Amino acid sequence: MKFKSTISLFVTAAVMAACNNRVSVSDTGLKYQIHDENEGRKPKVGDILTFQLVLKNNRDSVLRDTYKEGKPMQMMLQVPPFKGSFEEGLAMLAKNDSASFFISADSLFSKMMQPLPPGISKGSDIQFTVKVLEVQNEQEFQKAQAAAKEGQVKKDAKVIDDYVAKNSLKTVETPSGLNYVILKEGDGVKPVAGNMVSVHYVGKLLSGKEFDSSYKNPQSGGKPVDFPIGQGMVIPGWEEGIMNMKKGGKCTFIIPSTLAYGEAGSPGVIPPNSVLLFDVELVDVKKGPETAPGQPTPGQR
């Protein structure tokens, strides 16, 4: 009797699980499957959602997986662009909810005015499986971002201090948190915002792993790279570091993540929140383009 009761409970649980995982269809034609549902505030247009996403085609091939990328998506909820859209699905979910939405590939890419990419069949659905981590209005989001950045600044400072001590480095530290080692003091001019600079560089992780180098870059043929300084063309750590150098000088920059690639990193190359090393040689400094009288110089705010 006890054995039969156990089987009965098992079958009942299995049936309930199957019911909970059935695909439903909304009034607008959105096909969805709720996995976890909690009571909580549902997002409205303009709110920012932070969520994990696994994207699959109709052959169950994974097109994207933010779990493997190591960083969830963040997206401001927009007015649904078409009936049965992903945005409609997101509006159904509160914090900690999870669900799968089956979105028409034809409607999605037609609205984006793009052809169907390889791996996506005409007439098929794309499966968006979502786990909502946070629902915030714009003010809440900005406050959380500021707090996260402040916390990351402290973490980066500790990492840099430990690295400098371990390697017995003599560095110059700026108020922003940038550290640099002067390898060779240049004897030329210091660049200012609007100047064109020419630099050679090697970029490395703190582990010593090299991820980029002007000497090995096939696009530049191993020549220095040229760019205007002070115009946001490069990461903030480069802007500040290079404007502290003189022509002909060489430095190693130890750049906190908040002045480099931040929490985004560079997928497959630079992990999120990475402190970076750059060996930089300032090869040349030239004046930028002339501006008409009364016009601001390049880089001027």
Q: What is the pTM of this model?
A: 0.66
Is residue 51 part of the annotated active site? The answer reads no
Are residues 247 and 196 in contact, defined by beta-carbon separation less than 8 angstroms?
no
- pLDDT at residue 292 in the model: 43
Residue closest to 240 by CA, chosen among 283, 285, 193, 274: 193
Which pLDDT belongs to residue 87? 96
Alpha helices in the chain (DSSP H): 2-20, 66-69, 86-90, 105-111, 138-166, 236-242
212 is catalytic: yes
- Helices marked H in 37-99: 66-69, 86-90
Question: Following CA atoms 90, 92, 94, 96 in sequence, which dihedral angle do they give, to the nearest 10 degrees?
Answer: -70
Q: How far is CA 281 from the centre of its chain?
A: 28
278 is catalytic: yes
> Catalytic annotation on 47?
no
Q: Is 235 a catalytic residue?
A: yes
Exactly one of 34, 163, 182, 235 is catalytic; name it: 235
> Out of 106, 212, 279, 284, which one is annotated catalytic?
212
Q: Mark the ranges of the chain whose per-residue pLDDT is less than 50.
A: 1-19, 291-301
Q: In sequence order, what are the beta bridge partners of 134?
A: 50
Q: What is the pLDDT of residue 290?
A: 54
Is residue 32 annotated as part of the catalytic site, yes or no? no
